[in-house]
C-alpha cells in the first residue's frame, strides 16, 4: 500500500498539470458570464465592499479570490486566467486523489478525472469543481478518525463553500 502513495501523488499532480495546460492552451477568452464576478472584484479593488456598496448575491469570497491576484500582480486578465486554470488543475488533482483513495483503482480515478477535464466546464464554474473534492476529502478524513480538529476543518470547508 505504501508504494502506491507516491505513484498516486505523482499521477494526481500530473493530471493537475495536464488540466492546467489543456485549459491554458485552448483558452479563447472568457464568456460574458465570467465578467459578472470579475466586475465585482474590480469594485472591491476600488475600495467598495459587497452588500454595503454594491449588490451581492452571496459570492463575496469568489470576488475576493479574483481581486487578490489582481491586487498583487496587475489589473489585467492574466492573473484571473492563472487563478481559474490553477483551481481547475487543483480540482483535477484532488478528484484523482480522492477517487483513487476511496476505490483503490488508478484506472477509474484517471478515467473520471479525464472526463472532468474534457467536459470543459465554464471558467466561472471552477468553485463547483474545486469545492466538492475538498469537501469529500474533509469528510473522508473525519470519517476515518473523528475528532474536534477534523470537525473544525469540516466547518471551515462548509463556510468557505457557502461564501463561494
pLDDT 10s digits, 24-36: 999 999 999 999 8
Q: Which domain holds residue 52?
A: 4-163
Query: And the C-alpha cell for 153?
Result: 476543518
pLDDT in tens, 15-61: 999 999 999 999 999 999 999 889 999 999 999 988 788 788 888 99
Helix count and strand count (H, E) for the chain = 7, 0
Q: What is the pTM of this model?
A: 0.91
User: Whole-angstrom Cα distance, residue 142 to residue 136?
Assistant: 10
- The total domain count for the chain is 1
pLDDT of residue 63: 92
Sequence-separated (6 or more) residues with CB below 8 Å from residue 159: none
Amino acid at each position: 500500500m505504501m508504494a502506491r502513495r507516491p505513484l498516486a501523488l505523482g499521477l494526481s499532480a500530473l493530471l493537475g498539470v495536464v488540466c492546467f495546460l489543456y485549459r491554458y492552451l485552448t483558452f479563447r477568452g472568457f464568456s460574458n458570464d465570467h465578467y459578472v464576478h470579475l466586475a465585482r472584484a474590480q469594485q472591491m479593488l476600488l475600495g467598495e465592499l459587497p452588500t454595503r456598496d454594491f449588490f451581492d448575491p452571496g459570492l463575496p469570497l469568489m470576488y475576493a479570490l479574483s481581486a487578490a491576484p489582481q491586487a498583487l500582480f496587475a489589473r489585467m486578465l492574466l492573473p484571473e486566467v492563472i487563478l481559474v486554470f490553477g483551481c481547475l488543475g487543483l480540482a483535477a488533482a484532488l478528484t484523482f486523489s480522492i477517487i483513487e483513495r476511496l476505490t483503490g483503482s488508478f484506472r477509474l480515478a484517471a478515467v473520471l478525472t479525464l472526463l472532468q477535464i474534457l467536459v470543459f466546464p465554464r471558467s466561472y464554474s471552477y468553485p463547483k469543481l474545486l469545492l466538492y473534492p475538498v469537501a469529500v476529502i474533509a469528510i473522508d478524513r473525519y470519517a476515518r478518525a473523528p475528532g474536534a480538529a477534523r470537525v473544525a476543518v469540516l466547518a471551515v470547508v462548509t463556510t468557505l463553500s457557502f461564501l463561494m
